[in-house]
Amino acid sequence: MIITVSDLNQPGVDIFANLTERELRFAYEKNGGFFIAESPKVIERALDADYEPISMLMEEKHITGDAAYLIDRCPNIPVYTAPRTVLEKLTGYKLTRGVLCAFKRKPTPSFTEVCKNASRIAVLENIADTSNLGAIFRSAAALGIDAVLLTPECADPLNRRCMRVSMGNVFLVKWARIGDHASQWPEQGIADLKSLGFKTLSMALRNNSIEITSPTLHNEKKLAILLGTEGEGLLPQTINASDYVVKIPMKDGVDSLNVAAAAAIIFWELKK
C-alpha cells in the first residue's frame, strides 16, 4: 500500500522521523527492537537474511525505479512516500539512496553459537565509530572471517551508518556480543575464548610484538583477532592476557593505521 506523507505526525511515520538509533533499539524492547536500513542494496541483504520488514519510506521516483523490486518482495507492508525535500525534513538527514526500510530485530545468538566450527574470528573491543565498524564487517565478509564478536561497549552493527558503510555485509557475517556487561570483558571474555580452543591475538605495538607474516600464526588452527579503539587501542589487560601480540610492519615513521585498514590487512594475511 502506497501512502503519501507530508508531516511528522502522520501515523506510521514516527519510526523514521522521531526515534533515535538508541530509541529504535530499546524503546520497543518488549517487541525485540527495530532498526532502519538505508539504500536498496542494504535492504535487499536484510531481506535475504530473513529480517522481517515493517514499513518503507522512499522518494516517489523510487516506487517504479530502484526500489520497485523491494516493494514486490514486501507486498504486505505500507510504503510511505514523498519528494526528497519533504523526506529530508521528516528524517532530519540527507538520504543517500532515497530508500529506507524499518525491520524487526532478531534475537542475537550466543557467541558460542557463532563460533561453532570457526577457525578465524574477529573480536572488536569498544569500537564506537560506526563507520569503522561497518568497514570492518565489509572486510570480514570479503576476506572470509568466520564470525565477529563485539565486547559489551562496542557500537551496534545494526546502526544505519554501519550497515550502509558495510554495504549490507553486516548481514553476511555471523556476529554476537561476548559478555552482557563491561565488567565481563576482558578477563571473562578472553577466558571464554580460550575455553573454546582459540588462541588470542592482540593487534598492538609492544616490544614483544611479532609480525603478521609469522608462520606461528598461520599454523594455529583457531585464532581470535582482537582489535581496539581508534585512539587508545586495546586495553592493557587485554594485551597482557593474549597469547600473541602482533604488529603490521610500517615505514617512514608511521606507527599505526586506522583500525578498519589494520583489520583488512590482518584478515587477508591470516586467511591465506
Name the amino acid, one letter, at 230.
E
**Of the candidate ranges 18-32, 69-83, 117-131, 221-235, the one whose mean pLDDT is the lowest:** 18-32
pLDDT given at position 8? 61
**Of the candidate ranges 58-67, 133-142, 149-158, the one whose mean pLDDT is the lowest:** 58-67
State mean pLDDT over 180-188: 91
pLDDT given at position 178? 96
Q: What is the DSSP string of 92-153?
A: SS--SSSEEEEEE--PPPPHHHHTTT-SEEEEE-S---HHHHHHHHHHHHHHT--EEEE-TT
Per-residue pLDDT tens digits for 204-259: 888 788 989 999 999 999 999 999 987 789 999 999 999 999 988 888 777 778 99
Q: How far apart are CA 54 and CA 15, in angstroms?
A: 10
Q: How far apart are CA 31 and CA 123, in angstroms?
A: 28
The mean predicted confidence, pLDDT, of the chain is 89
pLDDT-based confidence at residue 172 (cuts at 50, 70, 90)? very high
SS3 at position 82: strand
State mean pLDDT over 19-41: 76
Q: How far apart are CA 254 and CA 262, in angstroms?
A: 13
pLDDT given at position 27? 56
What is the percentage of the chain residues whose pLDDT exceeds 90?
A: 65
State mean pLDDT over 20-31: 65
pLDDT given at position 97? 60
- Asked if pLDDT for residue 104 goes beyond 90, the answer is yes
pLDDT given at position 113? 97
Name the amino acid, one letter, at 10.
Q
Residues 6+ apart with CB under 8 A from 20: none
pLDDT given at position 31? 60
